[in-house]
């Protein structure tokens, strides 16, 4: 039996961007191939501030409206074991990627990257943090996550990992 391939999405508090990225990617992966051996999770570099909390209410509303389930998610922090457990660790922005790079053991650094690297041609590399803005910012996060998730899944399929 083939091994499961594990992907971790990371933002700051794990209540907005990374749970949306996780839900979008999981949903799109299941639509493409329900038998795919892919696992998705999300965490925050500062997840301890929101540990155990559900995603932001605006994230829940927008995700539901767009067909994605984030309701079972509970915020958590990145932990040391995540670097070994996951095959790819994708940050939502440069600040979180930089923090992960400082923290990550050398042997796992090749797993780190930006989620939007899988949506080339956008002219941006970061998914903006919608927390202090209007609900429309959460719609933008979903839009960007959909584009990046499609690119990520295509990349995985190209490597025979779907």
| The two three-digit tokens of residue 19, written as one number | 């749970």
Residues 92, 149 contacting (CB under 8 angstroms): no
Interval 83-106 mean pLDDT: 98
Catalytic residue list contains 11: yes
Instruction: Give how many domains the chain has, as a whole number.
Output: 1
Catalytic residue selected from 16, 17, 41, 88: 17
* Domain carrying residue 100: 5-158
Catalytic residue list contains 104: no
Q: State the CATH number of the domain containing residue 34.
A: 3.40.50.2300
Residues 41, 70 contacting (CB under 8 angstroms): no
User: Is 2 a residue whose pLDDT tops 70?
Assistant: no
Residues 97, 115 contacting (CB under 8 angstroms): no
| pLDDT at residue 53 in the model | 92
Catalytic residue selected from 11, 16, 104, 145: 11
Residues 40, 72 contacting (CB under 8 angstroms): no
Q: What is the dihedral of CA 80, 150, 97, 57, to 10 degrees?
A: -80
What does the pLDDT look like over 46-88, one tens digit per residue?
A: 867 888 899 999 999 999 999 999 989 999 999 999 999 999 9
Catalytic residue selected from 26, 41, 129, 145: 129
Residues 69, 63 contacting (CB under 8 angstroms): yes
How far is CA 82 from each of CA 8, 31, 87, 88, rounded to the nearest angstrom?
8, 26, 9, 10
**pTM (predicted TM-score):** 0.95
- 25: nearest Cα among 138, 152, 161: 152
Catalytic residue list contains 145: no
């Amino acid at each position: 039996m083939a091994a499961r391939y594990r992907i971790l999405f990371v933002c700051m508090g794990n209540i907005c961007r990374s749970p949306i990225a996780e839900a979008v990617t999981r949903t799109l992966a299941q639509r493409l191939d329900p038998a795919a051996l892919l696992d998705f999770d999300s965490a925050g570099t500062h997840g301890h501030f929101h540990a155990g909390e559900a995603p932001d209410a605006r994230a829940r509303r927008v995700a539901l409206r767009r067909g994605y389930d984030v309701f079972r998610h509970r915020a958590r922090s990145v932990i040391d074991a995540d670097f070994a457990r996951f095959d790819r660790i994708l940050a939502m922005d440069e600040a979180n990627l930089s923090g992960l790079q400082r923290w990550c053991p050398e042997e796992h650094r090749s797993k780190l990257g930006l989620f939007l690297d899988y949506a080339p041609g956008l002219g941006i590399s970061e998914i903006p943090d919608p927390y202090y803005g209007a609900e429309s910012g959460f719609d933008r996060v979903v839009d960007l996550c959909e584009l990046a998730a499609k690119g990520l899944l295509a990349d995985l399929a190209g490597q025979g990992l779907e």
